[in-house]
Chain A
Amino acid sequence: MFKLWATIRKDALLLIRDKVGLLLMFAMPIILVLVITSIQNATFELVNENKIPLLVCNKDTAKTSIEFIAALKHIGMFKITEVASDLTNESLNTNMHEHDALVAIIIPPTFSSSILKKSTQVSSKALQEFGINHDSISSNTSAQDSTSITFIYNPVLQQSFRQSIHGALSSAIQIIEGKKLVQQLYSTLNDKPMPDNLQMEVLQKNISINEIPAAKDGSKTIPNATQHNVPAWTIFAMFFIVISLGGSVVKEKLSGSFVRLKTLPTNYLVALLSKQITFLAVTLLQVFVIFSLGMWIFPYIGLPALNLPKDLFGLLIISLLCGWSAISYAICIGTFAQTQEQANGFGAVSIVILAAISGILVPSFAMPQSFAVIMKLSPLYWCLESYYGLFLERGSLKDVLATALPLVAFIILIQGITLIGLKKKNLI
């Protein structure tokens, strides 16, 4: 025990005196969490809270296009600015930059007539189906005029964001088309325009959508950029310890001190155990520092505060497992690497790749189907799933056991590989 304690003391002293290593382990992750959360928070706010600036160039003079613009306003997603109707695509582009608008639409001159024509055709067809003959039935009902709204967007917009705007525009068009169809049917059957109150009653949405986060504790805390990013980048920081720890194992292996250690009556496993304990403390400190930053500093810089899970014991266990996985991986890299450059280079690149496939860099749901199996090979995936189970789904340790157990398996496997490597290299 005394040997272990002396080794932990030595490792801690070496760690404290490695200023660059400390910077990598603490300052870099803090900067990373701050920057990524700020950027994502701005995007979240843009989508969820702010209105998207939309330029509308209405080349149609009829009433239906005005109703369409009103429907767009009613959706509440856009901050609409109407521009001159004689603008070309190029001049509209310039206008977008001037108005800081990310999207613009051009309503064609035939917009109203096209919608009216379609509603007339559809209503006539419907009446014919009911057995009501009507003069207005077109001889060729299938030949509908097709017209398009031109949608111009800033190339920086991500596809998912464009799709949500596209969906909103389609929804507004359907509202107008539906409205015109009902009006047409009513006026055809009653030979008079549809009363406004009835029109409103018909078109009014009866079913609303309630958004509730699927939290396991029943709470309704809305996930935000902080809840997503702080746990994710904390895992990344923990695994980035490979630079310091992996390098330290190689350095010790290559240095003369290792030769002397091999001649002393103590097993090298004591050194490895000491490194695991020392660096596990470092990873827990990283968790404490980054989570504290999220809880207490983020609100002061305009970011949402981090809400800790209710099961703090679960959080501690998951953090320990994440840290231990990271340490096991780093020691394994250090054992097999021949030089510090190898350990640092391979370690850093492999962590970025493992982070990418785990859903830290890109959400897992946005990844191709073929990655569904590959992502499960990354320990960072299981760390992330466990943390999300606690932070976003507000679960307890029991709820995340299924995602935590693969981490235990990973630790056992990687430690086993390390021991085989040490044995093969005659290091133990």
Chain B
Amino acid sequence: MAEIMRPAIQISNLSFKYHEHSGVSFHDFNLTIYEGERFGLFGPNGAGKSTLMSLMTGLLKAQEGSIQLLNEDIHAKCTRKLFGFVPQDFSLYEELSPRENLNFFGAWAGLSQKEITARTNELLDILGLTTVQDKPVATFSGGMKRRVNLAIGVMHKPRILFLDEPTVGVDIQTRHAVIEYLKGCWYDAGIYVASIRRSGRSLQPNCLDGSRKITGL
């Protein structure tokens, strides 16, 4: 598979530490993830999964080395259109409804009003949020909020999707809905990077099954 596909994420000689006196987080780290590949990051708390995720999404800047997403530098403005990010924390406005959240984040992702409306309707339907689309997210359960969180991350149909523990703390029904959706969009979107604790194996047997993994960073 790797031979026929272009690299989607290419990390070269990456070195990073939080500040001068902290221990080295990454030193001369290299990794290539190819288009269409599903990739899992596994490790205990503090192993550096989220740090690597932050570096790959441009939230942190490496001291040395480079990260390229589809041959574009991660810090180039145009790169931001290429990926979607679903953080572990609910990255949304709880005072707003799912539709209002999607309208706003869709605009920030560069979609037109027409595209936003169509995509919002589609996602609300797929993720089972249609009946609560106009209610404030603050009134939702954790599982419902996670669905909205995911919908925002995939709103602009990114080619690369970063998922940080997308099913942590949710009920079986929501976990199933999230996994089914991720399995469904696998072929459209390309790559998942999922950061999952050892105990959180929910994605592994399903959408990450058979994928390449890095365990115990």
Q: A residues near B, CB below 8 A?
A: 2-3, 5-7, 9-10, 13-14, 17-18, 255-257, 259-266, 270, 426
Contact = CB atoms under 8 A, between A and B. Distances in A.
A193 to B, nearest CB: 89
A13 B96 contact: yes
Contact of B93 (A10, A270, A426): A10
B91 interface: yes
A265 B92 CA distance: 17
A205 to B, nearest CB: 69
B80 interface: yes
A139 B89 CA distance: 100
Given A17-B95, A18-B95, A265 B78 contact: yes
A260 B152 contact: yes
Contacts of B93: 10, 14, 257
A259 B91 contact: yes
Contact of B109 (A18, A259, A264): A264
Nearest to B84: A263
Contacts of A262: 58-59
Interface of B: 57-59, 61, 77-78, 80-81, 83, 85, 87, 89-93, 95-96, 100, 103-110, 112-113, 136, 152-153
Contacts of A266: 107-110
Given A10-B100, A265-B78, A265-B81, A17 B136 contact: yes
Contact of B112 (A2, A5, A17): A2
A10 B87 contact: no
Contacts of A9: 103-104
Contacts, number: 80
Contact of A6 (B59, B83, B107): B107
A6 B136 contact: no
A3 B104 CA distance: 8
Nearest 7 Cβ contacts at the A-B interface: A6-B107, A256-B91, A256-B89, A260-B91, A265-B80, A10-B104, A264-B108
Given A9-B104, A256-B89, A264-B109, 8 more contacts: A14-B93, A14-B95, A256-B92, A263-B85, A265-B81, A266-B107, A266-B108, A266-B110
Nearest to A251: B93
A215 B101 CA distance: 53
A17 B138 CA distance: 12
Given A2-B113, A256-B90, A261 B108 contact: yes
A259 B105 CA distance: 12
A117 to B, nearest CB: 83
10 contacts: A9-B104, A10-B100, A10-B104, A13-B95, A256-B90, A256-B91, A259-B85, A265-B80, A266-B109, A266-B110
A299 to B, nearest CB: 39
Contacts of B91: 255-257, 259-260
Contacts of A2: 107, 112-113
Contacts of A13: 95-96, 100
B96 A14 contact: yes
A262 B80 CA distance: 9
A260 B85 contact: yes
Contacts of B89: 256, 259
Contact of B96 (A10, A263, A265, A426): A10
A259 B95 CA distance: 18
Contacts of B95: 13-14, 17-18
Nearest to A263: B85
Contacts of A255: 91
A14 B103 CA distance: 14
Contacts of B113: 2
Nearest to B113: A2
Contacts of A261: 108
A265 B136 contact: no
Contacts of A426: 61
B45 to A, nearest CB: 18
A264 B80 contact: yes
A265 B100 CA distance: 19
Contact of B107 (A3, A14, A260): A3
A312 B100 CA distance: 38
Contacts of A3: 107-108, 110
A263 B110 CA distance: 12
A270 B110 CA distance: 13
B169 to A, nearest CB: 14
Nearest to A5: B107
Which of B103, B107, B153 has the most A CB atoms < 10 Å from its CB? B107
A17 B83 CA distance: 32
Contacts of B104: 6-7, 9-10
A133 B139 CA distance: 104
B77 A265 contact: yes
Contacts of B90: 256
Interface-central residue, A3, A10, A17, by most chain B CB under 10 Å: A10
A18 B110 CA distance: 28
Contacts of A7: 104, 107-108
A370 B105 CA distance: 52
B133 to A, nearest CB: 15
Nearest to A260: B91
A19 to B, nearest CB: 11
A46 B73 CA distance: 74
B136 to A, nearest CB: 7
A427 to B, nearest CB: 11
Nearest to B162: A263
